[in-house]
Chain A
């Protein structure tokens, strides 16, 4: 790089040189834009992806368990059991699918896979309750999905106990308030995650693959022999994706505000500044991968397996990081999206200022600098 610069320095007066470089840089960026804009199908996906993700996460996916199908095996058929059944039917957590007539029916229903819970009332349920003051209800959960099973069992327990305890003395009632997300919407958790995911995808994968593509086809050779600094060639490749990503951030924020009704509680300029930082981190990551690989398929597999999955796994938006074994928790610290996810959560949902996230910002900046340094170190002007 230095030699190229020195050469042009001896040939041109310094001022003219800078102006000329700027013009070349501009031309290169225009070329890259032409590349990106020409491929309509990819472009469509790039802009469609965040929209579809936001809509799916916002409307289709909920962590809440509701409308779980249950079956009831009512051997008692008396007043108490009927009252309880109608209470269960009224709950929005349960849908009574059908009544079964024997135990074998329960097993068959589970194996067919369409029910989650079975409630069995014993014979003479009301009778036992009135005369011995003690009766038993059996609840069987499909624990193939452990969390749903636990939740449903505790919901059904609550319904039964509420029914029984309505008239008892000395009640302690916990009043539960859900902070930040009173309706327990999935979106609150997912929107910051989707932002990290989409930026990661656009920046890392697109940059890496598009640089490696030029290597594979052979046009990289042409670019590198041009008088323009090879580093600038690479950097100009990243610029269009920076812009695309900013557009994507805007789309996601607009959608989440106006379609998902999820307001931005913190400062918007701060959010954009932090997003730009994260985008730059991702772009350097993409450049790093492209420097290290020579085939599109390998670059793609690395960015997919090495970047996308860790983003989904370790950023904490799908699975709680604190549940993971210690080595994985340590690994999660070098995943940039984890820090970005925390930043977005703090600004957007909790409405906190810069003082709450300076540490995360510093770490992201640090990762970027290290990546830049390493990729510039291993960047070779000559191919093979």
Chain B
């Protein structure tokens, strides 16, 4: 016990001595939490729309005003042929083009049926599919209005109608920050914890001070614990700062139990720090450690469901995410912060993380050799 106390004293002293790193560790996440959610706004609005109206009828004009009034679209070009519209798309000035064919109104009335032509710049899949969906729903609405104008509804003739009452739970105003902030906080805690532990031990290797520790009777697990605890504390501090920023800047107050949140983060940090330690036992230089860490953290983030939903991944990828600690944290953060899930919902995931923590740390202790 005393050994660990002295080791801790040494580690904390080293952390507090290096002001520039300490400032970075504490200030960077706060700044990122301020900036990232503003930037990482995937809400699709202001879709730039170019319209080619070949019909100039009252229906076509009605449709256009309905589309521009919907709020999702910004009319950037009112052009006369397809080529001009394509040019707007090539220059990224338009995302979507809508072509209303000649004789739109006449054919709709006479033939009961008419087509519209829509082309979407689909390089960005989300924007394209959401834009298509929005446009579709506006057209559908317009369609039923036209139908009402053409067919006077009488009580007995009317077609059966289904009303769809949709409601959005947990985030009624569809606020994108509410979705992103917990996820980003999860990533920041992971990055800070993982990188710092990995680099810390390797730095001792590179500078040579690890030799001094190796010749002392300090036990392997003492040494590892001495490295783990300071960064565990630091991770919790960063997490607390993050929660405060989320509260102050975005007004996000966790719906669920705060103790549960901290409980999960504590266990999670053990796993991430264990991973950092493991990487550091395999590396000789900081550059190496940094790259290997970066490699894995990048995969963890991409496969963690922060930007793209895990449900949409193919089966093999969904299996891979089961071995990704970050995906559990992001999920749990959203569950507790947004939905107020309780301990029974979180417990299975906590169990998995505990297994990760145990395996990674044991592996790191075994792999850390005091003799080179």
Size bin of chain B's contact surface: 35 or more
Pick from B115, B130, B168 the residue with the most CB of A within 10 Å: B168
Query: Would you call B308 and A61 a contact (CB within 8 A)?
Result: yes
Closest to A185 in B: B125
List of B residues within 8 angstroms of A174 by Cβ:
115-118, 135-136, 139
* Stretch of A17-25, A44-52, A225-233, A361-369 contacting B (4+ beta carbons < 8 Å): A44-52
Query: Would you call A130 and B160 a contact (CB within 8 A)?
Result: yes
Within 8 A of B (CB), among A34-64: 39, 41-42, 45-46, 48-49, 52-53, 56-57, 59-64
Size bin of chain A's contact surface: 35 or more
Query: Would you call A67 and B146 a contact (CB within 8 A)?
Result: no
Query: Would you call A157 and B164 a contact (CB within 8 A)?
Result: yes
Query: Would you call A172 and B143 a contact (CB within 8 A)?
Result: yes
List of B residues within 8 angstroms of A297 by Cβ:
21, 199, 203, 286
Residue A356 is within 8 A (CB to CB) of chain B in the complex? yes
Bound CA–CA A313/B39 (angstroms): 7
Query: Would you call B125 and A325 a contact (CB within 8 A)?
Result: no
Residue B217 is within 8 A (CB to CB) of chain A in the complex? no
Residue A143 is within 8 A (CB to CB) of chain B in the complex? yes
Query: Would you call B42 and A189 a contact (CB within 8 A)?
Result: no
Bound CA–CA A110/B171 (angstroms): 13
Bound CA–CA A125/B333 (angstroms): 38
Bound CA–CA A230/B43 (angstroms): 50
Within 8 A of A (CB), among B175-203: 175-176, 178-179, 195, 199, 203
Query: Would you call A144 and B334 a contact (CB within 8 A)?
Result: yes
Residue A79 is within 8 A (CB to CB) of chain B in the complex? no
Bits for A167-188, please: 1 = Cβ < 8 Å to B, else 0: 1111111111111111011101
Bound CA–CA A345/B92 (angstroms): 11
Bound CA–CA A160/B203 (angstroms): 62
Query: Would you call A60 and B303 a contact (CB within 8 A)?
Result: yes
Query: Would you call A63 and B174 a contact (CB within 8 A)?
Result: no
Residue B314 is within 8 A (CB to CB) of chain A in the complex? yes
Known A39-B285, A323-B41; contact A64-B159, beta-carbon cutoff 8 A: no
Residue A347 is within 8 A (CB to CB) of chain B in the complex? no
Bound CA–CA A41/B119 (angstroms): 47
Query: Would you call B302 and A188 a contact (CB within 8 A)?
Result: no
Query: Would you call A143 and B314 a contact (CB within 8 A)?
Result: no
Main SS at interface, chain B: helix
* Stretch of B50-58, B230-238, B270-278, B335-343 contacting A (4+ beta carbons < 8 Å): B335-343
List of B residues within 8 angstroms of A161 by Cβ:
140, 162
List of B residues within 8 angstroms of A164 by Cβ:
159-162
List of A residues within 8 angstroms of B295 by Cβ:
45, 48-49, 52
Query: Would you call B334 and A181 a contact (CB within 8 A)?
Result: no
Bound CA–CA A184/B123 (angstroms): 8
Bits for B149-173, please: 1 = Cβ < 8 Å to A, else 0: 0110000001111111111111110
Query: Would you call B127 and A320 a contact (CB within 8 A)?
Result: yes
Known A66-B312, A172-B114, A175-B117; contact A110-B126, beta-carbon cutoff 8 A: no
Query: Would you call A146 and B118 a contact (CB within 8 A)?
Result: no
Closest to B117 in A: A175
Bound CA–CA A169/B147 (angstroms): 7
Query: Would you call A301 and B24 a contact (CB within 8 A)?
Result: yes
* Stretch of A134-142, A236-244, A372-380 contacting B (4+ beta carbons < 8 Å): A134-142
Residue B367 is within 8 A (CB to CB) of chain A in the complex? no
Instruction: Point out the residue from B166, B178, B341 that lies within 8 Å of A141, measured CB to CB.
Output: B166
Query: Would you call B129 and A63 a contact (CB within 8 A)?
Result: yes
List of B residues within 8 angstroms of A136 by Cβ:
162-165
Known A42-B288, A130-B160, A185-B125; contact A59-B314, beta-carbon cutoff 8 A: yes
List of A residues within 8 angstroms of B132 by Cβ:
176, 178
Pick from B32, B170, B303 the residue with the most CB of A within 10 Å: B170
Closest to B341 in A: A111
* Nearest CB of B to A258, in Å: 19
Residue A4 is within 8 A (CB to CB) of chain B in the complex? no
Residue B291 is within 8 A (CB to CB) of chain A in the complex? yes
Query: Would you call B159 and A143 a contact (CB within 8 A)?
Result: no
List of B residues within 8 angstroms of A333 by Cβ:
none
List of B residues within 8 angstroms of A135 by Cβ:
160-163
Closest to B92 in A: A342
Other 7 A-B pairs with CB < 8 A, given A41-B282, A68-B311: A41-B283, A139-B167, A147-B176, A170-B150, A213-B285, A298-B20, A319-B41
Across chains A and B, which 6 residue pairs bring their CB atoms closest together, nearest first?
A: A143-B168, A63-B125, A178-B122, A60-B317, A181-B122, A63-B126
